[in-house]
Amino acid sequence: MSTSKQLLTSVEMARFVARGFLRLDGVVPPEINERAVAALEQGLPGVPYGTPLAEAFAPDTFVHDLLAVPAVAGAVESLVGPGPTVDHHAVHVREPHEGQAQPLHGDAIIDVRPDAFDIQLMYYPHEVTADMGGTLSVPGSHLRRINETDVGRVQNLRGQTRLTCPAGTVVVVHHGIWHSGRRNDTARRRYMFKLRLNPTVPQVRLWDLADLHDPAVNAELGAWLPWYEQATGRLEIYNRVLLWRALTGDDTFDVDHWVTRVSNRPALRSHA
């Protein structure tokens, strides 16, 4: 296994900005997964809010080794930069034959920061099959700001995904993504370890910029998702442009002139 960080490409960053998540399937080696399952069964000690990530987990813990996996380290650095702090972590269990699912929710009250976001790592140390209560999420929902479970009455949205994955999968999500743990119809506990990280640096041009001008970046940022309404869905694209401008420092970037048009405020000229 390579030990260096694998930074995200611009196309991957644009996909994250558009969809609110990034899947890293099976990137964590079996040895770490086995230690993780044993640790999650026991429960993990808490970490005070704001602890520097580098100090939060001792070198002999699975979390320390999880964060050193090059694909994970590269995604974290690309999205929140060096030196993030721990917001909180949690062990999410879907109990065997629990009989119910969680309501759809976002892990945030309405959060209108235009130029900063937190990430959450969702780590699945064992395989998650279709009947095991994999996390349901709604691609492209992260910029539709909601207040926690206020969307709990929503049952199904076109394009939602219910996670199935191999052992050792990490899904990195924007803090605003709508999601819920589903019903586990198996006899086995389903574990997921969640770690929320706060940036401590401006989230500007932190990834591998080699493909910044690849047309695929624009295609990702303009992608229409199946649950978007004809009119309101336009606001998702608009908000992606604002976030991409913040992340790149390029305040001329646009998709279809939408942000440029409404930012146009010619200054009054003084007449001599």
Please, what is the minimum distance in Å from the beta carbon of residue 179 to ligand AKG? Answer: 6
Gap between the Cα atoms of 18 and 272, Å rounded: 47
Q: Is residue 199 a contact point for ligand AKG (CB under 6 A)? A: no
Query: CB–CB of 76/203 below 8 Å?
Result: no
Per-residue CA distances from 162 to 40, 184, 202, 225, 244 (Å): 22, 12, 32, 16, 27
Gap between the Cα atoms of 200 and 185, Å rounded: 41
By rule CB under 6 A, what count of residues binds ligand AKG? 9
Query: CB–CB of 24/170 below 8 Å?
Result: yes
Gap between the Cα atoms of 214 and 22, Å rounded: 19
Please, what is the minimum distance in Å from the beta carbon of residue 128 to ligand AKG? Answer: 9
Question: Which residues between 98 and 157 bind ligand AKG (CB under 6 A)?
Answer: 102, 107, 135
Gap between the Cα atoms of 81 and 60, Å rounded: 24
x/- string (CB under 6 A) for ligand AKG, residues 149-188? ------------------------------x-x-------
Query: CB–CB of 146/124 below 8 Å?
Result: no
Q: Is residue 220 a contact point for ligand AKG (CB under 6 A)? A: no
Please, what is the minimum distance in Å from the beta carbon of residue 92 to ligand AKG? Answer: 4
Nearer CB in complex with ligand AKG: 26/222? 26
Per-residue CA distances from 197 to 21, 160, 175 (Å): 14, 24, 9
Please, what is the minimum distance in Å from the beta carbon of residue 62 to ligand AKG? Answer: 18
Q: Is residue 92 a contact point for ligand AKG (CB under 6 A)? A: yes
| Residue closest to ligand AKG (Cβ) | 181
Nearer CB in complex with ligand AKG: 81/106? 106
Please, what is the minimum distance in Å from the beta carbon of residue 234 to ligand AKG? Answer: 29
Query: CB–CB of 104/178 below 8 Å?
Result: yes
Nearer CB in complex with ligand AKG: 166/222? 166
Residues near ligand AKG (CB under 6 A) are 92, 94, 102, 107, 135, 179, 181, 192, 194
